[in-house]
């Protein structure tokens, strides 16, 4: 009875061992979100058994254990279990399909090497026999007893065998050379698969029962981290026209621990150069603490540094190229037309999604207090099939002009503005024409200072251009200081409560338009004296410093021009 029980147990262990099959499966499809991906592996069931268990090995290190799911095609999944497996050095990739091929080729090479050694040994034996035959014939010849027919037959036989083994050796050498090349190729493939791939210490067992007689398939789905995709666009157009073309690309990066080969890829927006814009003026509010003690830093354009660029809606622009949060926008999924090979090496995998024509209108924008350049701006309408978000590379007339980062996504059908860099065919100047202290204020308790700025815009293109010019006057943030906008020689299109001034100019080809505007600040006398003491100690040296940089001779006894923007440390 004990023997029957033991035999039954042994048979059960044997059946269980036979039913458990280690597999890696093939990555069939990947859905990539902005910060993770859903991977589907599939394994065809070759066994004819009604029940069985597949153990999926070589799963990626970034596997999210709680996300593992299994389903069957032609079979019913009866159980899913995660097993922790202690990693053994050298055995991690033992079940890898390429590793198995390498082992098989190495075995074939050893077998062929053994045959080659045998052929060469047989050849040495034949050479020895030929030497013996030659020695025997010499002895028979000396005794006049040579049997020529027998001697010729022996030599012919030995030569034939020798030729036969030489042919075998050549074939064996050729086969070994092919096996070496195949082994080298397999090693390259294996290294490419495993050098960047990192497996988890978790394996997944899926038990199944057949639903019919036909073959079946197990599909394993799981989430992985260390993967992302970002949108990149190429905007192409002309500085003379309104026709643009928007090519949409995606850059995929992954370091999940597994390579995705010949996989179907879907991208989802769901969430489980130099300055390209001139900037927008912010309200300039002055107070007694606004006077600066020293010389401000200047950039290459001669303007005060640390400029905060803003978009036209008044929102601070974002310099980072990372994609904006689209959690509040409609989710879009895009399935790539072909199958992709994306390696787990964190390199950029770039794919083209679509190319769409865009209609746009061009205008010019100038902010002379922030930049001495005129910028080209395009208003475009998103006529593509997906929201436009991320980074856009702009090309005008075939030349790259810079990269643009869209802070907010443009929905399908929505209009959006992009700046296309500097238009070198336009010129812009801004000069302080007057910085006087009004004498009438010196005898009272107040001092009034007037600044007058002249702006000059030149058009060297062959068409009339509309240029929107932005500037500003100060707005008081201190009850002891009052400000006043005196006026402009050219009527402004808009003036708001924050002191922002807007002019719209239609400049003809070759034309230069000049206009000026003025404002004043009125200080308590004590405040003004404090300002002037600090300014007198630093301003003269500052003017001399910049005169030396520009090789301009210092003006002797020139009337003092008080630049309120400099003195009041204007916020930009």
Instruction: State which residues form the domain around 217.
Output: 12-29+48-84+202-223
Q: What is the pLDDT of residue 360?
A: 84
Element (H, E) at 5: helix 2-19
> Does the structure show a pLDDT above 90 at 169?
no
Number of domains in the chain: 4
Are both 455 and 548 inside the same structural domain?
A: yes
3-state secondary structure of 156: helix
Are both 370 and 394 inside the same structural domain?
A: yes
In this prediction, what percent of the chain has a pLDDT beyond 70?
Answer: 76
CA 460 vs. chain centroid, Å, equals: 38
Are both 549 and 491 inside the same structural domain?
A: yes
Are both 160 and 233 inside the same structural domain?
A: no
H-state helical runs in 243-394: none
Are both 240 and 377 inside the same structural domain?
A: yes
297 pLDDT tier (thresholds 50, 70, 90): very low
For residue 572, being part of any structural domain is answered with no
Are both 235 and 328 inside the same structural domain?
A: yes
Full-model pTM: 0.58
3-state secondary structure of 530: helix
Residue range 367-381: average pLDDT?
Answer: 92
2 pLDDT tier (thresholds 50, 70, 90): very low
Among 138-152, 195-209, 284-298, name the one with the lowest average pLDDT: 284-298
| CA nearest to 151, candidates 143, 162, 140, 142 | 140
What residues contact 453, with CB distance under 8 A and at least 6 apart? Answer: 430, 431, 432, 433, 471, 516, 517, 518
Are both 153 and 217 inside the same structural domain?
A: no
For residue 80, being part of any structural domain is answered with yes
Q: What is the pLDDT of residue 317?
A: 35
465-472 vs 349-366, strand pairing mode: parallel
> Does the structure show a pLDDT above 90 at 137?
no
Dihedral of the CA atoms 184, 185, 190, 196 (nearest 10)? 100
Better pLDDT: 257 or 298: 257
Kindly state the tokens that stand for 561. Answer: 């021009």
For residue 304, being part of any structural domain is answered with no
Report the alpha-carbon distance of residue 374 to residue 168 in Å, rounded. Answer: 82
Could you report the per-residue pLDDT of 197-223, keeping only the tens digit for each?
Answer: 678 889 999 999 988 777 789 999 999
Better pLDDT: 559 or 346: 346
Could you report the per-residue pLDDT of 309-368, keeping only the tens digit for each?
Answer: 334 333 333 333 333 333 344 577 889 988 999 988 889 999 998 888 888 888 899 999
Could you report the per-residue pLDDT of 412-428, keeping only the tens digit for each?
Answer: 888 999 898 899 999 99
Contact present, 284 and 564 (Cβ < 8 Å)? no
Could you give the maximum distance between any two Cα atoms of the chain, in Å? 153
Among 353-362, 437-446, 503-512, 551-560, name the one with the lowest average pLDDT: 551-560
Q: What is the pLDDT of residue 136?
A: 63
In this prediction, what percent of the chain has a pLDDT beyond 90?
Answer: 31
> Does the structure show a pLDDT above 70 at 138?
no
> Does the structure show a pLDDT above 60 at 11?
no
DSSP string computed for 61-85: TTEEEEEEEEEEESEEEEEEEEEE-
Better pLDDT: 329 or 224: 224
Are both 106 and 155 inside the same structural domain?
A: yes
439 pLDDT tier (thresholds 50, 70, 90): low
Better pLDDT: 394 or 97: 394
- Please give the DSSP secondary-structure letter assigned to residue 198: -
| CA nearest to 254, candidates 224, 234, 215 | 224
For residue 431, being part of any structural domain is answered with yes
Q: What is the pLDDT of residue 294?
A: 44
43 pLDDT tier (thresholds 50, 70, 90): very high
Are both 236 and 324 inside the same structural domain?
A: yes
Q: What is the pLDDT of residue 147?
A: 62
Q: What is the pLDDT of residue 117?
A: 87
Report the alpha-carbon distance of residue 92 to residue 194 in Å, rounded. Answer: 10
For residue 42, being part of any structural domain is answered with no
What residues contact 198, with CB distance under 8 A and at least 6 apart? Answer: 60, 61, 257, 344
CA 111 vs. chain centroid, Å, equals: 49
Are both 237 and 216 inside the same structural domain?
A: no
Q: Which of 422, 448, 474 is the last residue of a domain?
A: 422
Better pLDDT: 87 or 397: 397
Q: What is the pLDDT of residue 86?
A: 76
Report CA-CA distances (Å) from 379 to 387, 412, 502.
16, 14, 18
Q: Which of 143, 177, 194 is the last residue of a domain?
A: 194
For residue 1, being part of any structural domain is answered with no
523 pLDDT tier (thresholds 50, 70, 90): confident
Q: What is the pLDDT of residue 55?
A: 94
> Does the structure show a pLDDT above 50 at 292?
no
State the CB neighbour count (10 A cutoff) for residue 541.
12
Contact present, 91 and 103 (Cβ < 8 Å)? no
For residue 286, being part of any structural domain is answered with no
Q: In what order do the strands lie in the sheet containing 482-488?
A: 426-438, 446-459, 512-524, 482-488
Are both 348 and 462 inside the same structural domain?
A: no
For residue 36, being part of any structural domain is answered with no
Question: What mean pLDDT, rounded, does the chain reach?
Answer: 79
Are both 331 and 353 inside the same structural domain?
A: yes
Q: What is the pLDDT of residue 451?
A: 94
Residue range 394-399: average pLDDT?
Answer: 88
């Amino acid at each position: 009875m004990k023997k029957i029980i033991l035999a039954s147990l042994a048979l059960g262990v044997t059946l269980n061992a036979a039913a458990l099959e280690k597999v890696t499966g093939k990555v069939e499809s990947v859905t990539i979100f902005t910060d993770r991906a859903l991977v589907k592996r599939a394994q065809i069931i070759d066994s004819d058994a009604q029940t069985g268990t597949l153990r999926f090995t070589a799963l990626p290190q970034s596997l999210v254990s709680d996300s593992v799911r299994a389903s069957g095609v032609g079979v019913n999944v009866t159980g899913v279990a995660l097993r922790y497996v202690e990693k053994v050095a050298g055995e991690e990739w033992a079940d890898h399909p390429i590793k198995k091929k390498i082992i098989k080729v190495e075995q074939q090479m050893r077998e062929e090497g053994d045959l080659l050694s045998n052929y060469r040994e047989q050849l040495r034996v034949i050479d020895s026999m030929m030497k013996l035959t030659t020695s025997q014939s010499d002895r028979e010849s000396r005794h006049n007893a040579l049997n020529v027919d027998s001697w010729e037959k022996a030599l012919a036989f030995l030569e034939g065998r020798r030729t036969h083994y030489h042919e075998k050796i050549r074939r064996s050498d050729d086969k070994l050379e092919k096996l070496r090349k195949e082994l080298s190729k397999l090693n390259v493939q294996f290294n490419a698969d495993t050098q960047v791939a990192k497996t988890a210490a978790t394996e997944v067992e899926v038990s199944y029962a057949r639903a019919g007689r036909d073959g079946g398939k197990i599909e394993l789905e799981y989430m992985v981290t260390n993967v992302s995709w970002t949108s990149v666009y190429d905007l192409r157009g002309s500085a003379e026209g309104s026709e643009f073309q928007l090519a949409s690309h995606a850059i995929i990066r992954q370091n999940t621990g597994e390579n995705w080969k010949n996989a179907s890829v879907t991208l989802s927006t769901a969430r489980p150069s130099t300055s390209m814009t001139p900037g927008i003026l912010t309200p300039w509010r002055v107070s007694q603490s606004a006077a600066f003690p020293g010389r401000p830093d200047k950039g290459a354009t001669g303007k005060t540094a640390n400029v905060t660029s803003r978009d036209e809606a008044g929102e601070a622009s974002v310099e980072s190229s990372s994609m904006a949060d689209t959690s509040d926008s409609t989710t879009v999924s895009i399935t790539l037309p072909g199958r992709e090979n994306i390696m787990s090496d964190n390199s950029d995998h770039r794919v083209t999604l679509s190319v769409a024509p865009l209609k746009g209108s061009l205008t010019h924008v100038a902010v002379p207090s922030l930049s001495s350049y005129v910028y080209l701006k395009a208003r475009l309408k998103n006529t593509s099939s997906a929201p436009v978000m991320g980074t856009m590379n702009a090309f005008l007339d075939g030349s790259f002009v810079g990269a643009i980062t869209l802070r907010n996504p443009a929905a399908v059908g929505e209009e959006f503005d992009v700046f296309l860099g500097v238009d070198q065919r336009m010129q812009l100047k801004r000069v302080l024409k007057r910085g006087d202290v009004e004498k009438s204020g010196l005898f009272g308790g107040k001092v009034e200072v007037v600044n007058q700025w002249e702006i000059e815009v030149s058009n060297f293109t062959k068409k009339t251009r509309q240029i929107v010019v932005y500037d500003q006057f100060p707005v008081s943030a201190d009850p002891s200081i009052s400000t006043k906008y005196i006026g402009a020689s050219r009527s402004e299109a808009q003036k708001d409560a924050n002191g922002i001034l807007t002019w719209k100019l239609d400049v003809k080809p070759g034309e230069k338009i000049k206009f000026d505007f003025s404002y004043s600040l009125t200080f308590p006398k004590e405040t003004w004296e404090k300002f002037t003491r600090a300014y007198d100690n630093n301003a003269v040296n500052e003017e001399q410093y910049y005169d030396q940089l520009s090789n301009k001779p210092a003006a002797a006894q020139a009337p003092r021009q008080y630049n309120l923007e400099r003195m009041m440390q204007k916020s930009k």
